[in-house]
């Protein structure tokens, strides 16, 4: 079962270690051990027309082919996504195109993004600071557009253990499939960071305060959802808590990991990029 992160050597080592983990971490349901690999945003539902207007899909050229990620509109000129959607750690990917304005991919509009900036601390081996900002070639306008809000730097109140969060994306309908046409979302629970850290630690990966974990039985992000949001709906709008970074397969017993946007290094980087 593949690691949802496209860095082959690190993935192979983690896959071997994760395959040897105990059946379920302390806070996971016993049902998780028997849960099937679901399709699309795992355990999700289609987003109704006009919903999640901040969502975008991103296509880009890795040098070996065209890949797709998800992302969010920070404002009319900037998109938030994962660093592994813009670089392999040694070179930047090219030809980023952002699709926006509809829950159906075939009905979206598109704009280029020739300026892409990964976090300077992005580490493909330790899987840290997996966040990037794209500057669009032209501001997006028209119907079906909305923006996410960032959490205050250092404020993790909305991402406390047990809090409900939502993930959204055009991810694959199976681990071997491609992206779907209809945007989907599902809800997860913020997972105990200490338990998540121990779980991934058994695979030789050290999580830091720039990571955030989420999990729910039979629910998850999957391939193609990378770079998309882990978010909360509040009275003041949609607050994005994390950026979809990596996980082990889709809807397994291992919590998914997100880049924490309230982390000072992460949050301050995003805000600086929005000023450019």
Asked if 119 contacts 131 with a C-beta cutoff of 8 angstroms, the reply is yes
The H or E element containing residue 171 is none
Say whether 226 is catalytic.
Answer: yes
User: Is 130 annotated as catalytic?
Assistant: yes
Q: Which of 52, 77, 78, 84 is catalytic?
A: 84
Give start and end residues of each alpha helix (H) in the chain: 8-18, 193-201, 264-274
Phi, psi of 183 (to 5 degrees): -60, 140
For residue 125 the two structure tokens come to 């081996």
Please name every residue paired with 56 in a beta bridge, in sequence order, or none if there are none.
Answer: 71
**Active-site pick, 52, 130, 220, 225:** 130
Query: Which of 70, 156, 226, 245 does the annotation list as catalytic?
Result: 226
Across 55-78, b (16+ Cβ under 10 Å) vs e yields bbbbbbeeeeeebbbbbbbbeebb
Residue 159 falls in the annotated catalytic set: no
Give the torsion sign (CA, 34, 36, 37, 39). negative
List residues with catalytic annotation: 84, 130, 226
């Amino acid at each position: 079962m593949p690691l949802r992160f496209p860095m082959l050597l690190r993935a192979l080592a983690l896959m071997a270690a994760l395959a040897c983990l105990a059946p379920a971490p302390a806070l996971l349901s016993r049902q998780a051990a028997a849960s099937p690999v679901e399709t699309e945003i795992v355990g999700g539902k289609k987003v109704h027309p006009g919903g999640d207007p901040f969502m975008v899909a991103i296509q880009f050229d890795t040098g070996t082919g065209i890949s797709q990620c998800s992302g969010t509109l920070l404002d009319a000129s900037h998109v938030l996504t994962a660093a592994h959607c813009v670089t392999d750690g040694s070179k930047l990917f090219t030809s980023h195109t952002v699709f926006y304005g509809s829950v159906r991919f075939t009905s979206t509009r598109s704009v280029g993004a020739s300026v892409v900036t990964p976090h300077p601390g992005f580490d493909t081996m330790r899987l840290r600071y997996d966040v990037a900002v794209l500057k669009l070639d032209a501001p997006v306008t028209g119907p079906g557009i909305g923006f996410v809000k960032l959490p205050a730097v250092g404020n993790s109140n909305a991402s406390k253990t047990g809090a409900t969060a939502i993930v959204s994306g055009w991810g694959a309908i199976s681990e071997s499939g491609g992206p779907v046409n209809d945007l989907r979302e599902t809800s997860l629970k913020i997972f105990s960071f200490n338990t998540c850290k121990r779980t991934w630690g058994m695979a030789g990966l050290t999580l830091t305060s720039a990571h955030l974990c989420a999990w729910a039985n039979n629910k998850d992000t999957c391939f193609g959802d990378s770079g998309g949001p882990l978010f909360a709906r509040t009275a003041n709008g949609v607050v994005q808590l994390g950026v979809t970074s990596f996980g082990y397969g889709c809807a397994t017993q291992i919590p998914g990991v997100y880049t924490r946007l309230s982390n000072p290094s992460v949050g301050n980087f995003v805000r600086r990029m929005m000023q450019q």
